[in-house]
Amino acid sequence: MAKKNSQKLTFSKDTWPILMRMWREWVKPYTGSLLLILCLVILIAGTASLYPVLVKMALDAFTDKSQNIIMVAPIFIIVVTAVKGFSMLGQTVLTNRVVSQIEADMQLKLYSHLIDGDISQIGRQSSAALTQRFTTDFTYIKEALTRISTVFLRDTATIIAVVIAMIWIDPILTLASAVVAPFVAPPIAKIGKKLRRMSTSTQEQIGEMAGLVSESLQGARVAKTYNLEDYLKGKAASSFNEIRLLKVKAANARGRLDPLLEIAGGIALAGVLFLIGWRIMAGQSSVGDFAGFVTALLLASQPIRTLGNLSAIIQEAVAALVRYYAIVDEKPTIVDTPDAKPINVSKGKIRLENVVFKYREDVTALDHITLTIPAGKTTALVGRSGSGKSTMMSLVPRLYDVTDGALVIDGQDIREVTQHSLRDKISVVSQDVMLFDDTIRANIALGRNDADEERIIEAAKAAAAHDFIMKAPEGYDSQVGSMGTRLSGGERQRISLARAFYKNAPILLLDEATSALDSESERLVQQAIRKLMHGRTTLVIAHRLSTVRDADMIVVMEAGKIIETGTHDELITKDGAYARLYRLQLTDDVISPA
């Protein structure tokens, strides 16, 4: 379930800094294109301001019965509108190009940050909520950028140009129209702020909803067998309903803008009509002035309206940017030291020296563990669920750093070597097989499509995967994504084993599968695993009695502590915790309940 993004936003204060940061980091590199857009904007505004001037001049000329203007005005209008039209097209095309590029740049940064970052950072939010950062949030950001680059620039410039035209036609009337503006500005700003607050709550709620939906779909099998449909439907209904209420509220707030601007426009027009009528009567104004001025007012009213709406869109984007930077600004804690060197693994002896590990201050998962995992041998971890087996395993590739003590491989503290070289020496085979949506070849060869063919086949043969791969329509080039469903659990496991054979790392971390495969698959997988373990330093979370019995050393854990170590025979003779666990589980052929 998505955790609530508990960030409280102080809207007015952080709007500018965050927009400026966005400008500096993402928009500024495209200054060249932006300048081009600006030139087009000036053209658009300039041509727009000519409309009222043309109307005024044409009407005045008609009144004077001037012949020339009848010929010139239509041609002039065509030229002006054509220039404006093409400029608008250019501006839209350029804007879309730049904005899409900025979006892609920002998404890549976010993705790299998450992939390079700590496991704990990714684990803090549901994957559905994180996915949403890439989708919904970017629609807000993109929308705001597009509107700023097109509507905002164009409309601001148009308003300025039209106001200049208005002043030229009749400065006193312009002044009178301007009196209305201060009355509408504050309510518009208030609505904008309200919308941004609502956008944040809506996004949090949508994050929770996305988490709920993806969880239930992933766990559909379980949900059905436990008759959980009504429970899930109830949870979903309340989540959908909360989103609905927030959206209705936001739509109502947004809806208030248009009438507000409409009324303001009406008041301005009425005032102008009254004033100008009065001035025409007094002989201070012409009919041309009147027509030109009203044209200008109408021309300005549309941009003023859209600018009013723009503030709401920007507020939503700022809320999305706050969420974006909250992730991107989080510094990873697991980093290479400046003088980190590649690790040198000769034998692969792993030593935990007084290791303490806490997930949080109050969750001690490993409590002063000292243990030597001998090189080239198999060490089995057994113990009750929650005793700390997986935690110990995840410390070896440095997915987490020890809270206290040290983890040393062949005499080198793993915090002092590069993470890349460390992980190069470790293969992980886990019960939840992770295949990437790519070819079988790429899945075995760790993402490299240009890898050595012979080695790939050798690895697949060692994992007893070659035969079934050859039966697939495109052999090693078959896509795992499209045929993922057609692969059986055992086949998927064998591909993941082939990957470990291909990597050929001296240290093997193995989380044995608990789900039973059919006996033929099971036999093949077991054979392959045994072959893989041979000669490597293997740390295995053992669920099968056979694995435990054959292990060179068994480590029994309880509540984050090691309570016994020894071989199977030694521990049975000792008749302690292991012997009890063994007798208890003997009937199930499972040594540590998952």
Ligand X SMILES: Nc1ncnc2c1ncn2[C@@H]1O[C@H](COP(=O)(O)OP(=O)(O)OP(=O)(O)O)[C@@H](O)[C@H]1O
C-alpha–C-alpha distance, residues 565 and 474, integer Å:
48
Closer residue to ligand X in complex, CB, 168/359? 359
* CA–centroid distance for 218 within its chain: 20
- Entry field: residues in the chain: 594
CB of 509 to ligand X, least distance (A): 12
Pick the piece of the chain touching ligand X (CB under 6 A) from 52-60, 78-86, 357-365, 564-572: 357-365
Residue the block writes with tokens 């997930």? 359
C-alpha–C-alpha distance, residues 467 and 42, integer Å:
68
C-alpha–C-alpha distance, residues 113 and 222, integer Å:
34
CB of 493 to ligand X, least distance (A): 18
Q: Which of 349, 389, 466, 503 binds ligand X (CB under 6 A)?
A: 389
Closer residue to ligand X in complex, CB, 255/386? 386
Q: Is 556 exposed, middle or buried (0-12, 13-18, 19+ CB in 10 A)?
A: buried
* CA–centroid distance for 489 within its chain: 30
Q: Which of 62, 168, 359, 468 binds ligand X (CB under 6 A)?
A: 359
User: Strands of 561-566's sheet, edge to edge?
Assistant: 426-429, 507-511, 537-541, 378-383, 553-558, 561-566
DSSP percent split of the chain into helix, strand, coil, nearest 5: 65, 10, 20
Query: Which of 159, 147, 152 has the alpha carbon at shortest distance from 301?
Result: 159
CB of 120 to ligand X, least distance (A): 7
CB of 225 to ligand X, least distance (A): 21
CB of 430 to ligand X, least distance (A): 11
**Quick one: DSSP state of residue 409?**
E
In sequence order, the β-bridge partners of residue 341 are 417
Pick the piece of the chain touching ligand X (CB under 6 A) from 22-30, 333-341, 379-387, 468-476: 379-387
| 385 lines the binding site for ligand X (CB under 6 A) | yes
CB of 202 to ligand X, least distance (A): 29
CB of 260 to ligand X, least distance (A): 50
| 388 lines the binding site for ligand X (CB under 6 A) | yes
C-alpha–C-alpha distance, residues 340 and 243, integer Å:
49
CB of 383 to ligand X, least distance (A): 6
Q: Which of 391, 419, 493, 538 binds ligand X (CB under 6 A)?
A: 391
Query: Which residues of 92-184 form beta strands (DSSP E)?
Result: none
CB of 481 to ligand X, least distance (A): 28
CB of 562 to ligand X, least distance (A): 12
| 362 lines the binding site for ligand X (CB under 6 A) | no
Closer residue to ligand X in complex, CB, 4/21? 4
Pick the piece of the chain touching ligand X (CB under 6 A) from 27-35, 62-70, 207-215, 389-397: 389-397
What are the backbone dihedrals phi and psi of residue 344, each rounded to the nearest 5 degrees, phi first?
-115, 105
| 484 lines the binding site for ligand X (CB under 6 A) | no
Q: Residue 369: which residues within 8 A CB-CB, separation 6 or more?
A: 352, 354, 355, 356, 392, 405, 560, 561, 562
Other beta carbons less than 10 A from residue 460's beta carbon: 26
Closer residue to ligand X in complex, CB, 385/587? 385
| 390 lines the binding site for ligand X (CB under 6 A) | yes
Pick the piece of the chain touching ligand X (CB under 6 A) from 56-64, 385-393, 494-502, 516-524: 385-393
| 386 lines the binding site for ligand X (CB under 6 A) | yes
What are the backbone dihedrals phi and psi of residue 566, each rounded to the nearest 5 degrees, phi first?
155, 180
Closer residue to ligand X in complex, CB, 307/590? 590
| 363 lines the binding site for ligand X (CB under 6 A) | yes
Q: Taking CB under 6 A as the rule, which mask of x and - marks residues 118-137 in contact with ligand X?
A: -----x--------------
Closer residue to ligand X in complex, CB, 194/543? 543
CB of 558 to ligand X, least distance (A): 9
CB of 365 to ligand X, least distance (A): 4
Helix (H, G, I), strand (E, B), or coil: what is residue 276?
helix
Closer residue to ligand X in complex, CB, 123/266? 123
Joined together, the tokens standing for residue 540 give: 């295995």
Q: At what angle do helices 127-134 and 287-328 cross, to 10 degrees?
A: 140
β 561-566/553-558 pair status: antiparallel
Do 342 and 417 contact (CB within 8 A), yes or no? Answer: yes
Joined together, the tokens standing for residue 371 give: 């243990």
CB of 121 to ligand X, least distance (A): 11
Closer residue to ligand X in complex, CB, 304/571? 571
Closer residue to ligand X in complex, CB, 202/387? 387
CB of 391 to ligand X, least distance (A): 3
Query: Which of 415, 207, 240 has the alpha carbon at shortest distance from 326?
Result: 207
| 1 lines the binding site for ligand X (CB under 6 A) | no
- Helix (H), strand (E) at residue 352: strand 350-360
Q: Which of 299, 322, 365, 525 binds ligand X (CB under 6 A)?
A: 365
Joined together, the tokens standing for residue 534 give: 């041979």
The counts of H helices and E strands in the chain are: 23, 10
Closer residue to ligand X in complex, CB, 123/342? 123
| 265 lines the binding site for ligand X (CB under 6 A) | no
Q: Which of 47, 91, 205, 387 binds ligand X (CB under 6 A)?
A: 387
Pick the piece of the chain touching ligand X (CB under 6 A) from 262-270, 283-291, 292-300, 359-367: 359-367
| 481 lines the binding site for ligand X (CB under 6 A) | no
User: How many residues at the interface with ligand X, by CB under 6 A?
Assistant: 14
The CA-atom distances, in angstroms, between 25 and each of 18, 20, 22, 326 are: 10, 9, 5, 15
Other beta carbons less than 10 A from residue 388's beta carbon: 22
Q: Residue 452: which residues within 8 A CB-CB, separation 6 or more?
A: 445
Q: Taking CB under 6 A as the rule, which mask of x and - marks residues 563-592 in contact with ligand X?
A: -----------------------------x
Residues that bind ligand X (CB under 6 A): 123, 359, 363, 365, 383, 385-391, 592, 594
